Amino acid sequence: MAYTLRVEAAQAVGSVPILQAMGVRLVDVRPGFAAAELPPEPNVNHFGVTYAGSLFSVAEMLGGVLCLATFDLEPGGELDGCVPIVKESTIRFRRPAVGVVRAEASLPDAEVTRIRRDALATGKAEFVLEARLTDAHGEVVSTAIGTYQLRIMSA
Amino acid sequence: MAYTLRVEAAQAVGSVPILQAMGVRLVDVRPGFAAAELPPEPNVNHFGVTYAGSLFSVAEMLGGVLCLATFDLEPGGELDGCVPIVKESTIRFRRPAVGVVRAEASLPDAEVTRIRRDALATGKAEFVLEARLTDAHGEVVSTAIGTYQLRIMSA
């Protein structure tokens, strides 16, 4: 498996202590795609399955990671100063999650182009990202649909 | 302020290690009502505001805590064997959350009566709970709407 981890994406996880505490681990990050894994411990709830809030977190953070891997947000880059913000998210818990959970999300090329164009033109671009969470058997345990904005951060 | 903490409700938080790691603290729990607080650390993200996943978690867990404080789920109780399960949740992030966040949710008496009746009759009752998250100034930072089930847990 190819591990393409942009430094900024890895730092984004590392800079949120509670994501580190969950053990969230980026496993495949490249332009238009992000995947992460969530281990059972310390995310297991009192029913012995992965806690809803941890499932939400590993799904939600993909939006930020994907932006960092897809758009040139670095100092001096064409979208320097833009940051990804989550506006709203709906998560559906489809079945109990046991073991390591993998979350992944992608943006089609045309959507990447549209977001980049909107952000360059107006300093703001909204997009919707669907994250799919699966267990070790490939069964979908949750799906999450997040609405994000990539926008110039006000000082 | 009156602190009415049912032992089972406190145990529900204590039995999910990641909620403990977030520092989630029940502050007012009684039949039909639950409130909890979330401290900034270790929930602050790379923008210096409270991370979305932690806001989600403190909102979501109110559903379980409220059930434990409202219905008689204890061994030998009238709803012994029933557990609260979250099916779906939508959270809207309205403004950046800074400082201690308070989350609260309530169920009207008529809804408590309806849920109890449905659970007794069919072993399953669905309900919707809105959680309101406010900062130290009382400003709403997020709102979350969760769909829960109180149902007999299969062995």
Contacts of A12 in chain B (CB under 8 A): 46
Interface of A with B in 72-91 (CB under 8 A): 83, 85-91
The percent of residues above 70 in pLDDT, for chain A, comes to 91
User: Which of B7, B16, B150 is the best mutation test for A, with the most CBs of A within 10 A?
Assistant: B16
Put simply, whether B106 touches A (Cβ < 8 Å) is: no
The dihedrals phi and psi of A52, each to the nearest 5 degrees, come to -55, -40
Read off the pLDDT of each residue in A5-14 and give the average, rounded to a whole number: 63
Per the omega criterion (within 30 degrees of 0), is the bond before B42 cis?
Answer: yes
The verdict on a CB contact (< 8 Å) between B89 and A52 is yes
Q: Which ipTM score applies to this complex?
A: 0.93
pTM check: above 0.90:
yes
Put simply, whether A104 touches B (Cβ < 8 Å) is: no
pLDDT tens digit string along A18-29? 999 999 999 999
Closest CA to A70 of A102, A116, A104: A116
Residue B58 has pLDDT above 60, yes or no: yes
Read off the pLDDT of each residue in A116-125 and give the average, rounded to a whole number: 97
* Residue B68, H or E segment: helix B52-70
Kindly report the average pLDDT of chain B as a whole number: 91
Closest CA to B26 of B43, B6, B50: B6
- pLDDT band of A2, cuts 50, 70, 90: very low
pLDDT tens digit string along B62-119? 999 999 999 999 889 999 999 999 999 999 999 999 999 999 999 999 999 999 999 9
Residue A40 has pLDDT above 70, yes or no: yes
**According to DSSP H, which parts of A34-87 are helical?**
52-70
Q: How many A/B residue pairs have CB atoms within 8 Å?
A: 102
Asked if B71 contacts B115 with a C-beta cutoff of 8 angstroms, the reply is yes
pLDDT tens digit string along A71-101? 999 889 999 999 999 999 999 999 999 999 9
